[in-house]
Amino acid sequence: MDTQIETTRAEAKKLLALAMTGPISQGTTFKTKFTELDEKIFKLEDNLARLQAQKSVT
């Protein structure tokens, strides 16, 4: 799970860096992709927190 989170974060950082340095535009496609990555990170972190909470209960 941690690996998935880190991989997704790295992908988001790369996309953001490309947008900030100019090679890609910050149009609708960029915003859609970045939002998808952000939501994926949030879901993965939420799942990880749940699993850690379950583990600490048992």
Residue 55: what pLDDT? Answer: 86
Rounded to whole angstroms, the Cα distance separating 50 from 58 reads 13
pLDDT digits (tens, 9 = 90+) for 1-58: 789 999 999 999 998 888 888 877 778 988 899 999 999 999 999 999 999 998 888 6
**Is 8 exposed, middle or buried, given 0-12, 13-18 or 19+ CB atoms closer than 10 A?**
buried
All residues at 6 or more sequence positions from 37 whose CB lies less than 8 Å from its CB, including other chains: 8, 11, 12, 15
Residue 27: what pLDDT? Answer: 85
Residue 20: what pLDDT? Answer: 83
Q: Any idea where the domains of the chain sit in the sequence?
A: 2-57
Residue 42: what pLDDT? Answer: 93
